[in-house]
Amino acid sequence: MKTEQASPLRGRRVLVAVSGSIAAVKTPLLVSALIKAGAEVRCLVTTSGAALVSPVALASLSRHRCYLEADQWNPAASRPLHIELAEWAELTIVAPLSASSLARWSQGSADGLLASVLLATEAPVIAAPAMNTAMWRHPAVQSNWLQIQSFPGVVPLLPASGLLACDRVGDGRMADPLLIELAAASVFSRGLGTLDVPLDWSGMSVLISAGPTQESIDPVRFLSNRSSGRMGVLLAQAARFRGATVHLVHGPLGIPDAWLEGLQCTAVESAAELGTALQLAQPRSDVLVMAAAVADLRRDVAPPGKLTKLELQQALTSGWTEVPDLLSNLIRQRHPGLLVLGFSALTGSDAHLLELAESKRLAKGCDLLMVNPVDRDGQGFGDQPNGGWLLGDGWRRELPVTAKLSLAHQLLDALLKARDQAAASMES
């Protein structure tokens, strides 16, 4: 049975700021998604932004009046509007962030309502720039982009590549509204009381596998499992929002396409393809997270034509070979310093599952193993929450059932701790 989960955005105060980029036409979708997730939303548009997207639409979708630059100079206001908004917001999202607004922010200019809010806020800010590729690549813009990433609480969302409004194909598209919504949910899922969002995975290269594999029975049918890939993809995005560079090797996924933006992705089908892709990428990685649900068996020979019902019956009972243990193989070939988190989806009683998991962790040799029961109501596959136990060398910690994004952050915290402990033990 599926359980309805409360979004981490429920009841949160989010300020959406829109500056003068044509991507502003997509911001109403973001506002709508935030409202559906239960957030309280206020919108602010710069003068150029208001020429590109209707403040009336933003007001209607956010269920509140939309603030314009001129409102800052309202003589009836008893407190400066930029201070009121900056103190009200638990999170500010600048989507789109124009080159001009980025320049003002990076230089510490308070010229205008948006610029003043960005200096006055002490809460996190998600920055989603959008502009023409040549503008984006300009050294001045790149230097301003680097500069704002050194400001506390900034979550940078790199623009994506694609067809731009200027007809050019290249970098500069604003991150998809669904990805921005995910970044916002991620801010509130980190479990930090102060809403401090350090880029504590900066400089780390993470390799993550996610989703099921499919083993062909014939050109039409395959053997697979119920994995949606959601846990692995959320781990990938959570690590990226914290500054990591992430390579995701994935089977067929059941998640919004937008959630793949910003990741280096390799799509595979079979366990053999997954193994090869991981082996190639592993030497360049600092951390390997094996969240993919790899099929246990594969056909010795897949026939070129569709099997009849009778042939299918026979094919299901013979001609299958065990898929090699990909995680054990990868760990055997690992370079010193590679940290490995494995996943194990198990069924049965707590005692049975923990005993099995500990022997699996030892046999495979992974640093951390997340054990999640998949036979219990309201947790496990797809958009359901997840929980279980995290096993390390000589210890285990229960991870209560929670939203997968929140669990992803807990696992990333545990990986950082394991990395620091390993470094400390090398020194002593």
Among 13, 29, 35, 48, binds ligand FMN (CB under 6 A): 48
Tell whether residue 125 is a contact of ligand FMN (CB under 6 A): no
Host H or E run for residue 205: strand 205-210
116 is a contact residue toward ligand FMN (CB under 6 A): no
Shortest Å, Cβ 18 to ligand FMN: 8
- C-alpha–C-alpha distance, residues 93 and 174, integer Å: 12
Q: Is 130 in the site for ligand FMN (CB under 6 A)?
A: yes
Chain center to CA of 83: 31
For residue 22, state whether it binds ligand FMN (rule: CB under 6 A).
yes
* Of 96 and 232, CB closest to ligand FMN: 96
Options 1-9, 55-63, 96-104, 355-363: segment touching ligand FMN (CB under 6 A): 96-104
Site for ligand FMN (CB under 6 A): which residue of 9, 27, 40, 49? 49
DSSP secondary structure string for all residues of 247-311: EEEESS--S-GGGGTTSEEEE--SHHHHHHHHHHHGGG-SEEEE--B--SEEESS--SSPPPHHH
Q: Does 20 bind ligand FMN (CB under 6 A)?
A: yes
For ligand FMN, the closer of residues 18 and 341 by Cβ is 18
Residues 276-315 that bind ligand FMN (CB under 6 A): none
Supply 167's token pair.
């007809």
What b-and-e string marks burial along 294-320, b requiring 16 or more CB atoms within 10 Å of the CB?
A: bbeebbeebeeeebeeeeeeebeeeeb
Considering the complex, state which of residue 44 and residue 61 has its C-beta at the smaller distance from ligand FMN: 44
Cβ-closest position to ligand FMN: 20
Q: Which is nearer to ligand FMN, 49 or 380 (CB)?
A: 49
Residue 93 is a binding residue for ligand FMN (CB under 6 A): no
- Reported in sequence order, the residue ranges of 12-124 that DSSP labels E, i.e. its strands, are 13-18, 40-45, 66-68, 91-97
CA distance 175 to 119: 23
**H or E, element range at 165:** none
- Only one of the segments 130-138, 264-272, 274-282, 371-379 lies at the binding site for ligand FMN (rule: CB under 6 A); that segment is 130-138
Among 92, 98, 228, 245, binds ligand FMN (CB under 6 A): 98
Q: Report which of 106, 101, 110, 104 is spatially closest to residue 83, judged by C-alpha positions.
A: 110
> Taking CB under 6 A as the rule, does residue 100 contact ligand FMN?
yes
CA nearest neighbour of 154 among 113, 193, 102, 189: 102
Residue 237, number of CB atoms within 10 A of its CB: 27
Count of residues that bind ligand FMN according to CB under 6 A: 15
- Verify binding: residue 35, ligand FMN, rule CB under 6 A: no
The letter for the amino acid at 372 is N
Q: Which is nearer to ligand FMN, 113 or 233 (CB)?
A: 113
List the catalytic residue out of 66, 166, 265, 366.
Answer: 166
Range in contact with ligand FMN (rule: CB under 6 A) among 95-103, 305-313, 316-324, 369-377: 95-103
Q: Is 121 in the site for ligand FMN (CB under 6 A)?
A: no
Contact between 21 and ligand FMN per CB under 6 A: yes
Minimum Å gap between C-beta 101 and ligand FMN is 3
User: Which CB, 153 or 159, lies closer to ligand FMN?
Assistant: 159
Report how far apart, in Å, the C-alpha atoms of 153 and of each of 97, 110, 144, 156, 403 are: 16, 18, 16, 10, 23
Beta bridge partners of 395: 392
Shortest distance (Å) from residue 131 CB to ligand FMN:
3
CA–CA separation, 82 vs 104, rounded Å? 15
Q: Minimal distance in Å, beta carbon 10 to ligand FMN?
A: 30
By CB under 6 A, tell whether 131 contacts ligand FMN: yes
The residues pairing with 208 across neighbouring beta strands, listed in sequence order, are: 248, 289
- CB 169 → ligand FMN: shortest distance, Å? 15
Q: Report if residue 46 touches ligand FMN, rule: CB under 6 A.
A: yes
Angle between helices 404-427 and 177-187 in degrees, nearest 10: 60
Least Cα distance to 116 among 69, 51, 148 occurs for: 69
Backbone phi, then psi, for 253, in 5-degree steps?
-110, 155
- Examine the residue annotation and report whether 166 is marked as an active-site residue of this protein: yes
Identify the residue among 7, 19, 285, 384 touching ligand FMN (CB under 6 A). Answer: 19
Question: Where along the sequence are the contacts to ligand FMN (CB under 6 A)?
Answer: 19-23, 46, 48-49, 98-101, 130-131, 135
Tell me the catalytic residues.
Answer: 166
